[in-house]
Structure 1
Amino acid sequence: MPQVSFKTKLKLNNKQATLLAKHAGTARHAWNWGLSLCLTALDNKEKLPTAIDLHQRLVAEVKSVNPWYDEVSPCSPQQALRHLATAFQRWLVSKVSQKPKFKKKGNKDSFYLEGRIKISGNRINLPQIGWVTCHEIPPSVTVKNVTISKLAQDWYISFSYEKDIQTTAKIRDRIGVDVGINRLSTCSDGTEVENVKAYQKAKGRLVRLQRTLSRKVKGSSNRQKASNRLAKQHRRVANVRADALHKLTTWLAKNHSTIVIEDLHGSGRHKNHRLASAIADCGCYEFKRQLLYKASWYGAEVIVASRFYPFSQLCSEYSHQQQMPLHIRTFSCSCCGMKKDQDFNALVNLEHYTPAVSSTVVACGDSLVTACGQWESMKQEADLNLGMSKIV
């Protein structure tokens, strides 16, 4: 069964908010203390301590001189040390992340809890904290652990649980989807979803709030208030974008058996400084991430097409390939005379794309079926022969 995550905002009184802040502060203190020990061990070329070693030293050396550790759940600092060990593993062994850094108060505050957790209506009973109220009604499932985090002065709770696959009735067997800037998505069945452009619409207000923040005295309460207003506006932008993406990906996964999307080069597209802001505002990676896990929920299949396949150069009727400059927006086939919108023609080709076998046609109605890997090898061989001919 697939894993499903649930996250919602908490309604807290002053006492509960203070207790959550203590838990986050204790976890941050344990992380920074453990990070200092690990960095010292690396400088002295000693063996890196494990999470168990760090926790034993924490109990013996830190908790004995800091009585406020007893005011919070012991899971909070212990899990922080586990996360620290994982961070060093990802940095030194897997080499997929950067060097762990010291944490600062007010920046991504979070902590972990496990134990006796109950859900009743819109309330959750947490160890050492008690009953807290949620803005949404959580699912009635058995929860073993939760993560509580702070974002823009609001506290959020999240946990994961197993969910059965819900195979829904499909209105269409196969569909091709293209994510763009002017439109969030254009589908091969003619459906168009407008882009909400959350950041562009809020850019003026963000600029004013940032300018107001820069004029406040550092360390003052007015600067903290201005920072909170700016953070809330950024959170609103992210929520508007996420809401549009959730609605689109849920509709695609529920109503289509096979969804074909193109494998876009995200980091390369962001290097275009004229369009980088607009491209980032679309949330292309988040669209792909949501679509992949929601497809497993509703019994759909997602096919990620190769970015090198010539979708815009193939005739959608007979798969004849011809060169198509970007400034020409109407595809006019030189063999069969078919005329279609350039983007719609590419979407039809995207819909009929198959990952194992793809069709490349050298003449109208005269197809040559090759595997995708063979098509790539043919392209590399042609490039190699061209280079050899230049040398000769």
Structure 2
Amino acid sequence: MADRERLSVVQAYRFALDVTPRQERVVLAHAGAARVAHNWALARVRAVMDQRAAERSYGIPDESTSPPRLVGLCRRCVERGIGRSPMWHRGGPECSKEAFNTGLDALARGLKNWSDSRTGKRAGRRVGFPRFKSRRHSTPSVRFTTGAIRVEPDRRHVVLPRLGRLKLHESARKLARRLEAGTARILSATVRRDGGRWYVAFCVDVDRAARTPHQPQAVVGVDLGVTHLAVVSTGEVEPNPRYLDAAACRLRRLARRMSRGVGPDRRTGRRGSKRWERASARLGRAHARVAHLRRDGLHKLTTRLAAEYGTIVVEDLNVSGMLANRRLARRVADAGFAELRRQLAYKAGWSGGRLVVADRWYPSSKTCSGCGAVKTKLALSERTYTCTTCGLVLDRDVNAARNLAALAVTVAGSGPETRNGRGADRKTRPGGLVAVKRQPGTATAGNTGTVPPQGRTSNHELTHAS
């Protein structure tokens, strides 16, 4: 198998840390140095931009000022002030230079995103100008790209520059095996606090062996919803666990307990009491647990779908518009539609399959999967689809999933889903994933002929496929 084709990808390995109080102080010092460097460079960038704006108001043409690129402007400010600024020595001798580079790199990326959003190079919602980071509200984080970054032979400790030997809460055997085999190379390590716990995330360049799905010719449509998280055209139904609703009572109780404490007041400079800090930490851990459960469930579902089927068809949902509905916003956000689609996009490529994204305006729910007739209106409360043309009676979500699976036949030969500059999934291109409307009566309800064969895998086998 030495000549087997391999795929080089960049992926992250994230592990929880068990840091000592002294190590936590050192990590917080590095995160504080990154925040100070970010604010220090941002102040100088804003000063230069204000000066350029004043020069233009005086009638000085832009050609005379020769404005540099925004990303280079940040680095030029650093080069001019790196030796004179006391910021560089504020972190003390225990802070690594990588801490300051973390803040400067974050500012450079923020300026680039803002500039690309203004010029139309970046799709999606408008990106605002970078703002100063607050010590209280910003998430402590520091990234290391150089120095001693390794996993110890016992696979229970990692070594980072200036931080030394840190104990892992779980074993890093999966990453250690790849490093020992020479199929992985660590690019960077990021230490970040999330939900009251410290984590280390390794950005790794991995050589993955090329894989093939268990059913490479099978085509399935996946209809996402709130009642059921996902309904597959094979009839498999993935229930919506609704982790946020399950933890709602505990979250409300912790929030009330925190509101009764003496919190911080920025106007008077008052700090929060110890009881308020403990209550705030408990509430943060409760929210983090909900997020972890949601992420774990989505990973298991997407891994199983990508490893089983060769072609997966999903819808391009208008999630931002769905969040505007105050009756469904909380449950739509709890489902994580965008995260599910993002995971399917890269896991389908890893498994040797492809992901097809249907057009946002494709009427998958209104179209009959038997004869192709399209209803003019279909209320959200109608959970059973009844076709007045051929008499087909089917669950609404299963009918939509079958239509999505049939759509893949009309766009056969299209490649895997591409990504745009902002890292999000690109919208349907003209002439790409376009649904072909069938004339009513072209197929019967008993023998549709529109959905490709799904194989003979039962739901029980799908559950234990991985």
Short-chain TM bin? 0.7 to 0.9
Q: For residue 63 of structure 1, report the CA deviation from its aligned partner.
A: 4.3
Amino acid at match of 1:37: R
Instruction: Say whether residues 1:129 and 2:174 are aligned partners.
Output: no
Paired with 1:334 and 1:113, the residues of 2 have a C-alpha distance of 63
> What's 1:12 paired with?
19
Instruction: Say whether residues 1:255 and 2:308 are aligned partners.
Output: yes
Q: For structure 1, which segment, 321-330 or 70-79, has the greater mean C-alpha deviation from structure 2 after superposition?
A: 321-330
Paired with 2:164 and 2:110, the residues of 1 have a C-alpha distance of 31
Paired with 2:304 and 2:221, the residues of 1 have a C-alpha distance of 14
Distance 1:111 1:42, change over 3 A: same
Paired with 1:65 and 1:318, the residues of 2 have a C-alpha distance of 70
Amino acid at match of 1:127: P
Instruction: Say whether residues 1:152 and 2:186 are aligned partners.
Output: no
Paired with 1:82 and 1:279, the residues of 2 have a C-alpha distance of 33
Amino acid at match of 2:51: N
Q: For residue 260 of structure 1, report the CA deviation from its aligned partner.
A: 0.7
> What's 1:43 paired with?
50
Distance 1:329 1:28, change over 3 A: closer
Instruction: Say whether residues 1:225 and 2:278 are aligned partners.
Output: yes
Equivalent of residue 394 in structure 2, options 340, 349, 360: 340
Q: Map 1:360-379 to 2 at 5 A.
A: 360-365=437-442
Amino acid at match of 2:406: H
Percent same amino acid among aligned pairs?
A: 32
Q: For residue 92 of structure 1, report the CA deviation from its aligned partner.
A: 3.3
Amino acid at match of 1:110: S
Equivalent of residue 76 in structure 2, options 50, 53, 57: 53
> What's 2:110 paired with?
87
Distance 1:156 1:64, change over 3 A: closer
> What's 1:70 paired with?
93
TM-score w.r.t. length of structure 1 = 0.87
> What's 2:142 paired with?
111
Distance 1:137 1:54, change over 3 A: farther
Instruction: Please say if residues 157 and 166 of structure 2, whose CA atoms lie closer than 8 Å, have aligned partners that are also in contact.
Output: yes
Instruction: Say whether residues 1:99 and 2:129 are aligned partners.
Output: yes
Paired with 2:171 and 2:77, the residues of 1 have a C-alpha distance of 38
Paired with 2:87 and 2:286, the residues of 1 have a C-alpha distance of 42
Amino acid at match of 1:74: K
Instruction: Please say if residues 384 and 394 of structure 2, whose CA atoms lie closer than 8 Å, have aligned partners that are also in contact.
Output: yes
Instruction: Please say if residues 111 and 149 of structure 1, whose CA atoms lie closer than 8 Å, have aligned partners that are also in contact.
Output: yes
Q: For residue 165 of structure 1, report the CA deviation from its aligned partner.
A: 4.5
Q: For structure 1, which segment, 311-320 or 151-160, has the greater mean C-alpha deviation from structure 2 after superposition?
A: 311-320
Instruction: Please say if residues 159 and 165 of structure 2, whose CA atoms lie closer than 8 Å, have aligned partners that are also in contact.
Output: yes
Distance 1:124 1:58, change over 3 A: farther
Distance 1:66 1:314, change over 3 A: closer
> What's 1:390 paired with?
none
Paired with 2:78 and 2:99, the residues of 1 have a C-alpha distance of 11
Paired with 1:262 and 1:251, the residues of 2 have a C-alpha distance of 19
Give per-residue Cα distances to partners, 1:67-126, cap 9 Å, x unaligned.
544321111102311221221222234335212111122421111112221112122111
Q: Secondary structure at the match of 2:235?
A: coil
Paired with 2:226 and 2:301, the residues of 1 have a C-alpha distance of 15
The structure where helix makes up a greater share of residues is 1
Q: For residue 223 of structure 1, report the CA deviation from its aligned partner.
A: 1.5
Equivalent of residue 359 in structure 2, options 259, 284, 306: 306
Give per-residue Cα distances to partners, 1:296-324, cap 9 Å, x unaligned.
21112111111212223333223233445
Instruction: Please say if residues 319 and 359 of structure 1, whose CA atoms lie closer than 8 Å, have aligned partners that are also in contact.
Output: no
Instruction: Say whether residues 1:182 and 2:227 are aligned partners.
Output: yes
Q: For residue 4 of structure 1, report the CA deviation from its aligned partner.
A: 1.1
Distance 1:339 1:119, change over 3 A: same
Amino acid at match of 1:3: V
Amino acid at match of 1:25: G
Paired with 2:388 and 2:276, the residues of 1 have a C-alpha distance of 65
Q: Secondary structure at the match of 1:177?
A: strand
Equivalent of residue 211 in structure 2, options 167, 173, 182: 167
TM-score w.r.t. length of structure 2 = 0.74
